[in-house]
Structure 1
């Protein structure tokens, strides 16, 4: 055919091509719908703890590190709600155990924060990070007074003196919030430092007093005396 002449196609050929294009478009729509359905099903299975359904979706190719609109992975959602079986299923498919959402929270951090002891212990044994920049699992345990998890975290290697973004240590957070049992456990650990100051220049006992937790302040002061430590230096910020 001459290159300057348009190609002439029969009505039958044109119809066949239109049918093929329509079929491809329909398949694409069906595929998109299927993916959207699998995405929603995976989020639902993780939050409800349906490990069997979740495993089936993962076998079919759903990404174990799928995230929701808030940046929470399936593992974070399962851990946050204490769904240990779902957590186990996701780790079997190599979900990122230390992934942190937009707020900086990991699966272990949220399990600790909400007091899901079995889930937290499973993640600890699986090798979840204990020490990191910013907030860490032990800070959340101290803030909420999760005594049952304190020993597990410390035994696994959590730093009892790790500074939070506001320079508060676990002892400071527990003292501030009135968790006397948690404070007692920390004071029994010889590695716990007593004279650290937060970003406001307050020590653990000073912060306790500021929040009227006088019994906790007295415990810290008594332990400082027992160790033969001087009172902490006062830091005053002048603006």
Structure 2
């Protein structure tokens, strides 16, 4: 899983979490736990009640997960929609560097991802991002939406992998076709000096490797080939 090298915000969020637990009354602690549980389990009614009584919509757990992140990760659409009414930080990221949109994408929760996109969730930022997760998991529909909304097709993960590399390595041929058609750079290499075609071939995805090689040759003008 693409989950390494994403702890740049750890110190700040840990400090925030620690501060939240200083001299917290038992009743407030119970409210806090109830809110986190409601977000995870999709108990929209209880969570809305807490929010209406003044609960911060950007409340976080010890891993830096906001209520929105927790609900999105579990695919709780109605809960996500309810939280969005309280104007949370839609693109807030947890200690691991994951946002609500990234985790919705990872889990294949397309309706949740749509709601987050409509709320202005960020697509382009440093580190892992929604497009990279969509490519890694083969979420073709979401990947197409992200590209349509201006996602950086050649954005680099911390290990310098691109969406094309991740899709090629994991055998997602339709994602590879989509990325190639959209102009993904076939010549980029990751931190091990491996390009998308080479990585695909190393793991036995020879059809994908050949597809990428053919597109690279076509762009160079050595062959005329239409990718279908």
Please, what TM-score do these two structures have when normalized by structure 2?
Answer: 0.84
Deviations 1:106-138 (A, max 9, x none): 000000011111001111111101000111101
**Are 1:201 and 2:193 matched, yes or no?**
yes
- Mapping 1:1-239, distance limit 5 Å: 32-189=25-182, 191-228=183-220
| Distance in 2 (alpha carbons) for counterparts of 1:35 and 1:181 | 49
Q: Distance in 2 between matches of 1:195 and 1:118?
A: 34
Structure 2: runs of 5 or more not aligned: 1-23, 223-228
Q: Secondary structure at the match of 1:161?
A: coil
> Aligned equivalents of 2:30 and 2:48: distance in 1?
15
Partner Cα distance (1:40, 1:192) in 2: 44
Deviates more, 1:157-166 or 1:31-40: 31-40
Rg (Cα) greater in structure: 1
Q: Are the structure 2 counterparts of residues 182 and 75 from structure 1 closer, same or farther at C-alpha, using a change threshold of 3 Å?
A: same
The higher relative CO (CA closer than 8 Å, separation ≥ 6) is in 2
Task: Tell me the secondary structure at the aligned position of residue 25 of structure 2.
Answer: helix
- How far did residue 229 of structure 1 move? 6.0
State the aligned residue count.
199
| Aligned equivalents of 1:183, 1:229: Cα separation in 2 | 20
> 2:66 and 2:92 mapped to 1: Cα distance?
8
Deviations 1:130-185 (A, max 9, x none): 00011110111111111121111111111111011111110000001111111111
Structure 1: 5+ residue runs without aligned partners? 1-30, 231-239
CA deviations over 1:77-126 (Å, ceiling 9, x no partner): 00000111111211211111111111000000000011111001111111
